[in-house]
């Protein structure tokens, strides 16, 4: 089953027929080549090369410890927070090398928003949570922008009359959508999501999934998930990382799930391991 | 499967007091008595002091209204506590101002910025050591370095410096704990939203940690308010009038009590008892505020 990796890893000219997005050729937003990441002496990612297309949902799946979250945190340099983490190889955001010394990670994160596994709203009002990014980035805060972000996160109807209440008083699913609103309010280009629904109940999860599909109209979404059905439902592209931090397969989601090129990927997807 | 055989029933039945049961009960009483000892000691102390103050009121006519509004005097019937209370108020404000910013600043550096290396560990180890240094040593240090060294003299500011040095390690350690209690997920959320590290600290971390920091600071000040030894070293003893500013000579509440208690006259000794009542009220109030703050914000988060 396994074929030569060089021609199956990156195939950006075929788009998913299911979501109907991207009839035009894809523009690459984030691209890595030969990316290696180490935590101290442990290698977390090995030789990862990938091109993530614009205005698509790219899902990253794989078993625990395969480096999928590590890869996500490389894109906006949140790995900088871990002192032992070192990055080798190239990671580009458009044409800029993210790990160039001249790149300010704060400026990078203003272009690339992030939503975490566990909802982490600030102990502030709902309004201030959403306005936070605008304030720290020195952008004007208007009620319209806050409303738009909350609508974008499918939360407006539920909280429009309690904007001054604490974000911590919302339910888990609402908190996560508040975090999404916080991420999109400053209007980034890319939104990274690190297992955004794994701490939520099924109803909240399906709301988040619906939302992700809508987000791709305006943003490039990269989502890490351990839930293969979720990846199959919501993504246009799927990247499969396997143990050892290797990217084994990256293609249109339909192809990856229906006709994977690698035996190990097929075994993983059909639940033989992982 | 039959539920509850006779054997099981017998095992579950209470068989009366065994030796282990007795040990169990005795031990509970012993440790209860141990924990009550502190409470009893405090109660006895308070009762004794209030009783002495009451004797002062009965036999030496020490009235609260006069005691709280008169300044110091060599004549016991003219002596009051006002000068000492004003000096203590000054001391607390200056000590808080000196210790709070340096202490919280150090805590922020150690928790949020400092790399985990030898120097950081050395600083942290020494902070614990500093917290254990006897208070009189701080008095000696300030006497040598500030009062005589740079010639500031035995003024209120010198006393405040001694007290600030004394409580700074306590403030740093409690502020560090408060900062550590702020979850990293919140820091990451802020950084990932495009905030700088300082914005993250200023807008998210500090507001969350502030109740804990304030509680620690108030508890530290409550300790400083009763400190006598460093103030004696610095040169705070008897003065008759309230200090008009931080550059004047002074005697604070504990040093005033100390001076009175050392007098041979029973009248002065009962003035000291009245002073202790005031000092205890101030101290317990500060502790009460700290506990109130802690409970209030604990339930909110």
Q: What is the 3-state secondary structure (H, E, C) of chain A?
A: CCCCHHHHCCCCCCCCCCCCCCCCCCCEEEEEEEEEEEECCEEEEEEEEEEEECCCEEEEECCCCCCHHHHHHHHCCHHHHCCCEEEEEEEEECCEECCCCCCCHHHHHHHEEEECCCCCCCCCEHHHHHHHHHHHCCCCCCHHHHHHHHHHCCCHHHHCCCCCCEHHHCCHHHHHHHHHHHHHCCCCCEEEEECCCCCCCHHHHHHHHHHHHHHCCCCEEEEECCCHHHHHHHCCEEEEEECCCEEEEEEEHHHHHHCCCCHHHHHHHCCCCC
What is residue B194's DSSP assignment? T
pLDDT(A39) > 60: yes
Q: Which residues of A touch B188 (CB under 8 A)?
A: 78, 81, 116, 120
Distance from CA of A120 to the nearest CA of B (A): 6
**Site from A136, A175, A181 to mutate, B interface, most B CB atoms within 10 angstroms:** A136
Q: What is the pLDDT of residues A211-242, one digit of tens each?
A: 998 899 999 999 999 888 899 999 999 999 99
pLDDT(A53) > 70: yes
Q: Which residues pair with A93 in a beta bridge?
A: A30, A96
Helix (H, G, I), strand (E, B) or coil at B238: coil
Looking at residue B139, its pLDDT comes to 93
Is B270 in contact with B60 (CB distance < 8 Å)?
A: yes
Considering the domain A5-269 in this protein, what is its CATH number? Answer: 3.40.50.300
**Site from A132, A175, A186, A199 to mutate, B interface, most B CB atoms within 10 angstroms:** A132
Distance from CA of A123 to the nearest CA of B (A): 7
* pLDDT bracket for residue A23 (50, 70, 90): low
Question: Which of B191, B196, B199 minimises the CB distance to A78?
Answer: B191
Q: Which of A142, A143, A219 is nearest to A180 (CA)?
A: A219
Q: Which residues of B touch A182 (CB under 8 A)?
A: 189, 193
Q: Which residues of A touch B201 (CB under 8 A)?
A: none
pLDDT(A7) > 50: no
For residue A240, the Cα-to-chain-centroid distance in whole angstroms is 14
Instruction: Please report the number of interchain residue pairs, chain A to chain B, with beta-carbon separation below 8 angstroms.
Output: 67
- The span from the CA of A49 to the CA of A54, in Å, is 17
Q: What is the 3-state secondary structure (H, E, C) of A53-78?
A: ECCCEEEEECCCCCCHHHHHHHHCCH
Q: Predicted ipTM?
A: 0.86
Are B189 and A182 inside 8 Å of each other by CB?
yes
Average pLDDT of A45-67?
A: 92
Please work out, in degrees rounded to the nearest 5, the angle formed at the alpha carbon of residue A185 by the alpha carbons of A182 and A188.
105
What is residue B193's DSSP assignment? T
Helix (H, G, I), strand (E, B) or coil at B74: coil
- The span from the CA of B251 to the CA of B84, in Å, is 6
Please state, rounded to an integer, the average pLDDT across all residues of chain A.
88
- Residues in chain B predicted with pLDDT less than 50, given as ranges, are 301
Helix (H, G, I), strand (E, B) or coil at B301: coil
Q: What percent of chain A is predicted at pLDDT more than 90?
A: 71
Q: What is the pLDDT of residues A177-200, one digit of tens each?
A: 999 999 999 999 999 999 999 888
Q: Which residues of A touch B204 (CB under 8 A)?
A: 122
Residues with Cβ < 8 Å from A175, sequence gap 6 or more? A119, A121, A167, A168
Torsion on CA atoms B217, B220, B225, B231, rounded to nearest 10: -120
For residue A178, the Cα-to-chain-centroid distance in whole angstroms is 16
pTM: 0.81
Is B246 in contact with B155 (CB distance < 8 Å)?
A: yes
> In 10 A of CB B161, how many CB atoms?
24
Residues with Cβ < 8 Å from A191, sequence gap 6 or more? A112, A113, A114, A115, A180, A183, A184, A215, A219, A220, A221, A222
- The span from the CA of B250 to the CA of B276, in Å, is 18
Average pLDDT of A54-73?
A: 92
DSSP-derived secondary structure for B129-171: HHHTS-HHHHHHHHIIIIIIIS---SBHHHHHHHHHHHHHHHH
A184: region left, alpha or beta (phi > 0 left; psi from -120 to 50 alpha): alpha
Helix (H, G, I), strand (E, B) or coil at B249: strand
Distance from CA of B106 to the nearest CA of A (A): 21
Residues with Cβ < 8 Å from B208, sequence gap 6 or more? A123, B182, B186, B301
Domain B68-300 fold: MetI-like fold (1.10.3720)
Pairing of strands A57-61, A220-224: parallel
Distance from CA of B194 to the nearest CA of A (A): 5
Check CB contact of B20 with chain A, cutoff 8 Å. no
Alpha-carbon distances of A55 from A68, A145, B49, rounded to whole Å: 20, 21, 77
Check CB contact of B298 with chain A, cutoff 8 Å. no
Domains of chain A: which residue ranges?
Answer: 5-269
For residue A149, the Cα-to-chain-centroid distance in whole angstroms is 18
Helix (H, G, I), strand (E, B) or coil at B240: coil
Domains of chain B: which residue ranges?
Answer: 18-59, 68-300
Looking at residue A147, its pLDDT comes to 96
Are B193 and A132 inside 8 Å of each other by CB?
yes
Distance from CA of B209 to the nearest CA of A (A): 11
Is A12 in contact with A53 (CB distance < 8 Å)?
A: yes
Are B194 and A137 inside 8 Å of each other by CB?
yes
Check CB contact of B114 with chain A, cutoff 8 Å. no
């Amino acid at each position: 089953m396994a074929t030569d990796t060089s021609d199956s890893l990156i195939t950006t000219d075929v788009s998913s027929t299911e979501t109907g997005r991207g009839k035009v050729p894809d523009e690459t937003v984030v691209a890595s080549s030969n990316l290696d990441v180490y935590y101290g002496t442990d290698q977390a990612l090995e030789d990862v090369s990938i091109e993530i297309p614009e205005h698509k949902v790219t899902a990253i799946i794989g078993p625990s410890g395969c480096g999928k979250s590590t890869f996500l945190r490389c894109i906006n340099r949140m790995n900088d927070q871990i002192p032992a983490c070192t990055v080798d190889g190239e990671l580009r955001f458009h044409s800029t090398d993210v790990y160039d010394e001249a790149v300010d990670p704060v400026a990078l994160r203003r272009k690339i928003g992030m939503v975490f596994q566990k909802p982490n709203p600030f102990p502030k009002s709902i309004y201030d949570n959403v306005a936070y990014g605008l304030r720290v980035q020195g952008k004007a805060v208007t009620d319209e922008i806050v409303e738009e972000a909350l609508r974008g996160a499918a939360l407006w109807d539920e909280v429009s009359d309690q904007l001054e209440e604490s974000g911590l008083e919302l339910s888990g699913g609402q908190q996560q959508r508040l975090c999404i609103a916080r991420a999109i309010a400053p209007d980034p280009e890319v939104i990274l999501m690190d297992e955004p629904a794994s701490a939520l109940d099924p109803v909240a999860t399906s709301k988040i999934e619906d939302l992700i599909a809508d987000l791709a109209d305006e943003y490039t979404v990269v989502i890490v998930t351990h839930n293969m059905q979720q990846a199959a439902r919501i993504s246009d592209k799927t990247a499969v990382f396997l143990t050892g931090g290797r990217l084994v397969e990256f293609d249109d989601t339909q192809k990856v799930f229906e006709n994977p090129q690698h035996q190990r990927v097929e075994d993983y997807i059909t639940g033989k391991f992982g | 499967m039959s539920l509850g055989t006779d054997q099981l029933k017998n095992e579950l039945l209470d068989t009366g007091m065994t030796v282990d049961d007795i040990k169990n009960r005795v031990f509970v009483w012993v440790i209860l008595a141990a924990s009550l000892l502190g409470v009893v000691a405090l109660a006895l102390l308070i009762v004794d002091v209030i009783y002495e103050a009451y004797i002062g009121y009965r036999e030496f006519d020490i009235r609260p209204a006069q005691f709280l509004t008169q300044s110091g005097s060599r004549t016991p019937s003219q002596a009051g506590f006002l000068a000492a209370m004003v000096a203590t108020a000054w001391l607390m404000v200056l000590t808080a101002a000196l210790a709070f910013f340096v202490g919280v600043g150090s805590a922020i550096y150690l928790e949020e910025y400092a790399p985990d290396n030898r120097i950081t560990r050395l600083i942290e180890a020494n902070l614990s050591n500093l917290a254990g240094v006897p208070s009189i040593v701080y008095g000696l240090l300030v006497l040598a370095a500030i009062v005589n060294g740079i010639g500031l003299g035995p003024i209120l500011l010198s006393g405040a410096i001694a007290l600030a040095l004394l409580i700074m390690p306590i403030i740093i350690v409690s502020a560090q704990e408060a900062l550590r209690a702020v979850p990293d997920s919140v820091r990451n959320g802020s950084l990932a939203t495009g905030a700088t590290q300082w914005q993250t600290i200023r807008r998210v971390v500090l507001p969350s940690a502030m109740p804990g920091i304030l509680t620690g600071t108030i508890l530290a000040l409550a300790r400083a308010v009763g400190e006598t030894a460093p103030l004696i070293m610095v040169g705070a003893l008897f003065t008759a009038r309230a200090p008009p500013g931080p550059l004047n000579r002074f005697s604070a509440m504990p040093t005033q009590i100390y001076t009175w208690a050392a007098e041979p006259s029973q009248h002065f000794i009962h003035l000291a008892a009245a002073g202790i009542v005031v000092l205890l009220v101030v101290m317990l109030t500060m502790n009460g505020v700290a506990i109130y703050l802690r409970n209030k914000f604990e339930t909110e988060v």
